[in-house]
A and B are shown apart, each in its own frame.
Chain A
Amino acid sequence: MRDVAIVGTGTTPFGEFEGGVKEMGVKAASRALQSCGVTSEDVNALFLGNFVAGMLEGQEALAPLVADSIGLTGIPTMKTEGACASSGIAFRRAYQAIRTGEHDVIIAMGVENMTDADTTEFTRALGSAADYTTDGVTGVTFPGFYGLMLDRYLHEYDATREQIAQVSVKNRRNGAANPRARFQSEITVDDVLKSRLIADPLRLYDCCPAADGGAAVILAASDIAETFTEEPIPVLGSGHATGRSAAYRYDDLTTFEATSIAAESAYEQADVRPSDIDVVELHDCFSAAEVGDSEDLGFFEKGNGAAAVEAGRTAVDGEIPINPSGGLLAKGHPVGATGIGQIYEICEQLRGSHENQVEGAEIGLTHNLGGSGAIGTVTILGGPTHV
């Protein structure tokens, strides 16, 4: 098995844009190529994560479409789909293909165009990630799934609704300093608790916004990484696991095994513990999700995640900074682009160049989740001292 590093990164901002999925994908991939010394002749493959372009734009075959647009014909390309974890999977496949020696240099990317669709089309497309024959036909939406999760969480643990709201407050504060974020304004706990109910007990400001965006990274075998960049970011560990596909399938709805199992394998491979992680970008599609994720990733004991947010332990200057980018709640959630977008943000942290820089960050973790806790990917990245 070979070591693998990230040698180039590129992204669009996340937000509401005129351009379609092709334009955002092409720009992200092109920017990644221009960020480093990789030329089109060096690239052996392109893996692209996307979830809803087929349904919303009627555009499929995105991987070859983007590749052809940046002069990359002749190589294998493919799309990966795992709902909101689509590009977490693209990254994982690229990593494995280099690790096993199949390829030397791969573009892993994600792209999504969501804000042009009307609400009905949009909810139908996102709802396709639920099990239609059980949760879907009953009327459970994604906010509904996390409403059920939070209802049980508040029943089982000594957490308050205000503490959960603090997640949105923290992430909006972080997003206010991130030029790539869709929302760049702060909110208060009162704003969250007075926003309209969406799926009790979740309110509007507990929910992440849709967004358009594309993000790309270029992976290379570590032994050639320094021919492309002076600052390769080594991939220390990667995990990918399947969990449950509907709300009724959980014995305990407050914990997602797709997250905890993917995390265990990534920690084991990287030979690190949760306490070794300096900075985290995790899948806060809802405020309650961040609390559950932070526990499933091993940063807090089950039931303690909400109080940790209130105490500032997950703030940019806290002991385990979570979502300094603003996360999905502020940066936005262009579903198929989110996983690579998180990796882009952690690369900025490990290079010491993030707008919300965590002092001395040397090991970062990303966590991307799809479906009803059905798909989890976890990636652990190291700073330049880990090469």
Chain B
Amino acid sequence: MSKSSSQSFPAQRCTDCGTLYGHRMFVCRECLAETLTDVSLEGEGTVYARTTIRVPGSDHQGEEPFEVAVIDVGSDMSVRVTARVENNPELKPGDSVEFIERRDGVFYFESS
């Protein structure tokens, strides 16, 4: 498993066809199986795209500005997720990030 200090990432895997998921699924998109099991991926990720939200929706009033990014997390096996990034407004596509935690359904990362 991971040799780095980052937290492992809580993914799901379809027990029938093996497809991996980051965000929670109710059925497997590929084979429609309803049984998905928890699986840990390495917590290192790469930024695919990022933005800074300066005018948030009503559920996030007062948290602005905050960074969100689309991140590929895992190493030899990876999944793409939408996530918060905690500490770096200068992030660019290709930059490395590490998974911190999943809290209230949101994935949090920080710069490596």
Residues on A lying within 8 angstroms of B by beta carbon are 120-121, 123-124, 127, 133-141, 143-144, 147-149, 151-152, 155, 196-202, 246-251, 253
Q: 1/0 per position for B89-110, CB-CB distance to A under 8 A? A: 1001110000000001111000
Q: Are A137 and B104 in contact (CB under 8 A)?
A: yes
Q: Is the beta-carbon distance between A155 and B93 smaller than 8 angstroms? A: yes
Specify which of A151, A198, A199, A202 lies most central, judged by the most chain B CB atoms within 10 Å of its CB: A151
| Inter-subunit contact B49/A138 (CB<8 Å) | no
Point out the residue from A138, A151, A152, A247 that lies within 8 Å of B84, measured CB to CB. A138
User: Nearest B residue to A196 by beta-carbon distance?
Assistant: B54
- B1-31: which residues lie under 8 A (CB-CB) from chain A? 22-24
Contact A133 B23 (CB under 8 A): yes
Report chain A residues within 8 Å CB of B106. 137-139
B43 shortest CB reach to chain A, Å: 17
- Return A327 CB to nearest CB of chain B, in Å: 21
Q: When chains A and B are docked, how far (Å) is the Cα of A143 from the Cα of B81?
A: 18
Instruction: Give the nearest-CB partner of A248 in chain B.
Output: B82
Contact across chains for A197 and B54 when beta carbons are under 8 A apart: yes
Q: Which B residue's beta carbon lies closest to that of A140?
A: B68
B51 at the interface (CB under 8 A from A): yes
Closest B-chain residue to A146, C-beta based? B51
Q: Which residues of B contact A (CB under 8 A)?
A: 22-24, 48-61, 63, 66, 68-70, 80-84, 89, 92-94, 104-107
CB pair B49 A139 closer than 8 Å: no
Q: What would be 6 A-B contacts, judged by CB atoms less than 8 Å apart?
A: A124-B58, A124-B59, A137-B105, A196-B54, A248-B22, A248-B23
Give the nearest-CB partner of B91 in chain A: A151
Most buried by B among A133, A141, A202: A141
Check if A139 sits within 8 Å of B66, measured CB to CB: yes
Q: In the complex the two chains form, is A198's CB within 8 Å of B24's CB?
A: no
Asked if residues A123 and B82 are in contact (CB atoms below 8 Å), the reply is no
Residue of B nearest to A148 (CB): B49
How far, in whole Å, are A111 and B59 apart by their CA atoms in the complex? 27
Q: Which residues of A contact B69 (CB under 8 A)?
A: 148
A247 CA / B104 CA spacing, docked (Å): 19
CB pair A248–B70 under 8 Å, yes or no, is yes
Smallest CB–CB gap between B45 and chain A, Å? 12
- The answer to whether A200 and B22 have CB atoms under 8 Å apart is no
Q: Which residues of A contact B58 (CB under 8 A)?
A: 120-121, 123-124, 127
Q: Is the CB of A253 within 8 A of B52?
A: no
Residues of B within 8 A of A202 (CB): 51
A141 vs B68: C-alpha distance in the bound complex, in angstroms?
10
| CB nearest to B106 among chain A residues | A138
Give 9 closest A-B pairs by Cβ, nearest first: A147-B51, A152-B49, A248-B82, A155-B93, A148-B49, A200-B52, A120-B58, A124-B58, A127-B57
- Given A151-B51, A200-B52, verify A139-B23 contact (CB < 8 Å): no
Contacts of B22 in A (CB 8 A): 248
Most chain A Cβ neighbours within 10 Å, of B57, B70, B80, B93? B57
- What distance in Å separates the Cβ of A196 from its nearest Cβ neighbour in chain B? 8
Given contacts A155-B92, A247-B70, A248-B81, contact A141 B104 (CB under 8 A): no
Q: Give Cα A337–Cα B60 distance, bound, in whole angstroms.
A: 28
Bound state CA distance, A199 and B92, in angstroms? 14
Chain B residues with Cβ below 8 Å from A247 are 49, 70, 82
Q: Give chain A nearest CB distance to B83 CB in angstroms.
A: 6
